[in-house]
Amino acid sequence: MTKIQIELSDATAKAARDAGLLTPRALSRLVTEAIKRRQAADSLLAIADRVAKAGIAPMSMEEIDAEVKADRAVQRRRRAGRR
């Protein structure tokens, strides 16, 4: 277990304390979620670099929307089949 010390302005510390964010459990959750977001962003950027190098044309918002809707339909069918 690692112990850390942070410096916050009084106002930020009070707001965080009032929101229950300065407990070890809350801080651990916040850091873990931040790490996951950073990893997801890094992954997306890596994919974007590979797509650009491959010369793949960007998708329009309509194409993206159609792909998302199609994937959601597949997920709904899978969930319905498992029940």
Ranges of each domain in the chain = 10-82
pLDDT in tens, 36-61: 999 999 999 999 889 989 999 889 99
pLDDT for 9 equals 97
| Mean pLDDT of the chain, nearest integer | 93
pLDDT score of 83: 55
pTM: 0.60
Unique residue bearing structure tokens 């801080």 = 27
**Structural Rg of the chain based on CA atoms:** 21
- Cβ pair 26, 20 in contact under 8 A: yes
pLDDT, residue 58, reads 87
pLDDT the model gives residue 1: 87
